[in-house]
Chains A and B, each alone.
Chain A
Amino acid sequence: MPEATKSVWEQNAAPRHRIQWCPGCGDFAVLNSLKAALTTLELTPTEVLLVGGIGCSGQIRNYLNGNSFYGTHGGALAYALGAKMVNPELTVFALAGDGDTLAIGIENFVHISRRDPDITLVIMDNGVYGLTKGQDSPSAGLGHPAKVSVEEHPPFLDPVKMALTCGATFIAQSFSGDPKHTTEMLVEAVRHKGFAMVNDFSPCVTYNKFNTYDWFRAHCEMVPGGHDPSSEDAAWELIRDFERREKLPVGIIFRKPREKAPAKRLPMWQAELERIDLEPMLKGLR
């Protein structure tokens, strides 16, 4: 990535020394891929809104330039939904962890997938709650329980299956160990007109001693060239096939182009709000 453009995304960001991720955290690669993708897409910081989740991952919004919104744990997608409905000219991201998206924020994930707004969700999936120091998240147990819990360990919740079930129209996976590929996935996700999810395997080097870079390298496998992402059946077959072989697919798993009428920005400025005729509302009340 050329330094000159990259700097646009760093100008107003928190100084680099304030980045509070552990050295080696997968989220660094997501940050770089995101900058690269935004550069490729020729977006400017004023045109994007980065809605952060709560977790180590959600901090990403502070480390690059661009408008951002940071609210409560699990809420990223819903804030993003409202912002996008109001101003479709903004490129809106929800950037969150697996705990944020699949546990406390699952309600938003399920229903916003169904709504299919033109938002890009990036899950930085590390199988643990990083920020709260390593407890199991719903995606714990990729292949094996990440940390032995006292309670019985419930099975891993697969965001890809969830998204497909709930009607997301773009579903991809990537791995922080391959940032070039992550960049590609992000670019495709933003270009997709509709709800796009990129689940990025982003190792937590501090708390997840099982799903390490090496483990992911051994288990991630590119979606085969012949896969037809526009077919839901093909997507399910692919998922089942990878599951049987205990592998994780990376690449575009499902993409259903949708004809969408471009939404309009809502009236917001004074001139647009002035002088309205109340008659249509009063008419039915006489």
Chain B
Amino acid sequence: MKVNRMKLLVGGVQLRDGVSTITDLLGRILSRAGLYVMGLERGFASTIYGAHQYDPLVITEEPAVSWGDEGLDILVGLEYDVDPDGPEQPNRDSVFRHGRNVVDGGVLIYDSSSGAIPVDALEARGIRVFSIPARQIATRDLKKEVVKNVVMTGALFRLLEFDRDEQWLRRLLEERFGRKGPELVNLNLEAARRGRAAVEAILAERGWSNVGYRLEPRPTPASAVYISGNEALVIGAIEAGVRFYAGYPITPASSILEFMEEHLPRYGGRALQGSNERESIRAALGASAAGALSMIGTSGPGLSLKVEEFGVSGVTETPLVIVDAMRAGPSTGMPTKSEQGDLFLVTGGGHGEIPRIVLAASSIEECYTLIHEAVRLAEIYQCPVFFLTDLNLGEGRMTVPEAVFRSGQGAVTRQLATEQQARESRYLRYKITDTGISPRLLPGTRGGISKINSTEHDEFGFVTTDPPKRVAMMDKRMRKMAKYLQNDAKPPQVFGQLGKGPLLVGWGSTRPVLLDAQKRLQTEGINAAVAHFTHLWPFPTALAKPILEAGKPVIVCEHNYIGQLAEIIQAHTLVAVRRVLKYNGRPFYPAEVVRAVHEVTHNGATAVRLGGKDPVMVEVSSDA
């Protein structure tokens, strides 16, 4: 019996079957019950209706290291045939796509409203099959098709022997629908009971006493939320003091805009849905220049459109936090698939040279904590601060203890010149200083005026092309980066002992997989360490080099073709690196990383590209 430890996948037709209704319900209830749910890999399509959608959930008693491998304990298929005689059989989609991943002895439960699926091959592998006519029960018995998901949830709960007294489900339903009266709550509870009964009947008929998996609430659950990276990021940003946000709808950054629109006004702020990407970033720059801590969010195609304004932020020294929830590119790419392809764009995008900072979050929790750092750095260094997340982090959800949000980071300390300071000497917006940081007086403050200028300028802010003035101003701006490297740059987070074996290097959402791979390598007697970068640019060479030099060998794992961080590392540290790359839209799986590490350490591969048919060795350079 596996208790509180399983990987479950819900699949169905996008928008019709309500895949995320079920996973959201599970995520919330199980988080309340003290378990940990990790739903970071979300399979949805960029067409709205009709495509296959799937949500894998990892359920554990202690926080999971990663989302594990592709293997599934429980597969839930929500599809049903509308026309059983038709040539198309969409109700088999989940089973066909994911059936091969169900582990021997696992469970398949599917909506059999339009007939049973022949599943003997699965049954031969010891997989227990539950065909539940969920939609039929909902439409015929309860006269409400929408509750079919609750029928399925009830069935699932019975399967897992969870919530026998209905307390968890009832509480959530009451909170959601209570205001609309008890009928709706009762209808849903009845639906759950029908699902339960259907499973009961099958168990009795087959003579099964259980299915080998069970969920049990923890005795004293600490309060937790089931939250996405985008939501965590908004909470962190608002707490840090962001009061102006602008965006333009784009997957997977739209939910930042939506969550901001919902909450920012409550805290006295404004969220703007720009008419396009350029209006958004420009309005945010205007807002920042006028004094609000400002942020924008977008994804690849939107970021490309904003590139012109990176320079404005850098040269006018107007702070701005730019969130890039990366998706697979180039161009429109795969809008609903994750990638790490924008590193070069944020470290180098734009004409000319500007000071800029790039941070990348590696977990949902870090979306909350690190965004504070981004806002703080923007405020101090008065330049664009890029904050990279990706689709898996942004749209994925997991259980996060509320204590994380109670750490009380508070608002960042504002670095504004006061009226009195400005009066004491002639106010110069671009005063040349040792640190490169000039006093910032907000327009509207008496005591001085701000001439904010994106053309090269003198200390006051007037246009100049005078060579010495240009040099002095350029040097002043770039000095900020030296200051940053000295005061605020961070080395990669190091896990495990350095120098004993291979060093897995990563950035962004790959951290959990690298840690999982590290654990597995450990059981094979390989002492791998993990170095994970959050502060990517300016590259913290002095801090990172000694760590990287200890790698035997250094293996950089990232979701792109070139190995963008690998390139940066080689250029800045002259440490030779090997690359493990995946760009097929799926996240890394730990077993895959382990295999790739073997390819490198045993077979001497310099680059392993994953996610084709099999791991393929590819030569890109002979850098060894």
Contacts and interface: CB of A to CB of B under 8 A. Distances in A.
A72 B308 contact: yes
B573 interface: no
Contacts of B289: 69, 79, 82-83
Interface residues of B, number: 73
A108 B32 CA distance: 47
A46 B32 contact: no
Interface in B436-474: 442-455, 460-463
Contacts, number: 201
B403 to A, nearest CB: 11
B479 interface: no
Interface in A241-286: 264, 266-270, 272-276, 278, 280-282, 285-286
A86 interface: yes
Which label, helix, strand, loop or mixed, suits the secondary structure of the B interface? mixed
A71 B316 contact: yes
B216 interface: no
B402 interface: yes
Contact of A107 (B238, B266, B276): B276
B485 interface: no
A68 B444 CA distance: 11
Interface in A53-103: 61-62, 65-72, 74-75, 78-87, 89-90
Nearest to A61: B451
Interface string A189-211: 00000000000000000000000
A111 B269 CA distance: 21
B268 A67 contact: no
A260 to B, nearest CB: 15
Contacts of B234: 281
B276 A83 contact: no
Contacts of B270: 85-86, 266
Chain A interface residue count: which class? 35 or more
Given A83-B287, A85-B287, A90-B444, A270 B410 contact: no
Given A69-B286, A83-B289, A75 B278 contact: yes
A87 B443 contact: yes
A112 B270 CA distance: 16
Contacts of B279: 78, 81, 107-108, 111-112
A281 to B, nearest CB: 5
B244 A266 contact: yes
A44 to B, nearest CB: 8
A89 B234 CA distance: 27
A281 B282 contact: no
Given A71-B316, A83-B287, A285-B231, A108 B282 contact: yes
Interface of B: 28, 31-32, 223-227, 231, 234-235, 238-239, 241, 243-244, 246, 259, 263, 266-270, 272, 274-276, 278-279, 282-294, 308-309, 311-312, 316, 402, 405, 410-411, 413-414, 416, 442-455, 460-463
29 contacts: A46-B445, A46-B447, A68-B453, A70-B452, A70-B454, A70-B455, A71-B309, A78-B283, A79-B289, A80-B286, A81-B279, A82-B246, A82-B272, A82-B284, A82-B290, A84-B286, A85-B272, A85-B283, A86-B286, A87-B292, A107-B275, A268-B291, A268-B414, A273-B293, A273-B411, A273-B414, A274-B411, A276-B267, A286-B32
Interface of A: 12, 14, 18, 45-47, 49, 51, 61-62, 65-72, 74-75, 78-87, 89-90, 107-108, 110-112, 264, 266-270, 272-276, 278, 280-282, 285-286
Q: Which 8 A-B pairs have the closest CB atoms?
A: A82-B286, A78-B282, A82-B283, A79-B286, A111-B275, A67-B443, A82-B287, A273-B411
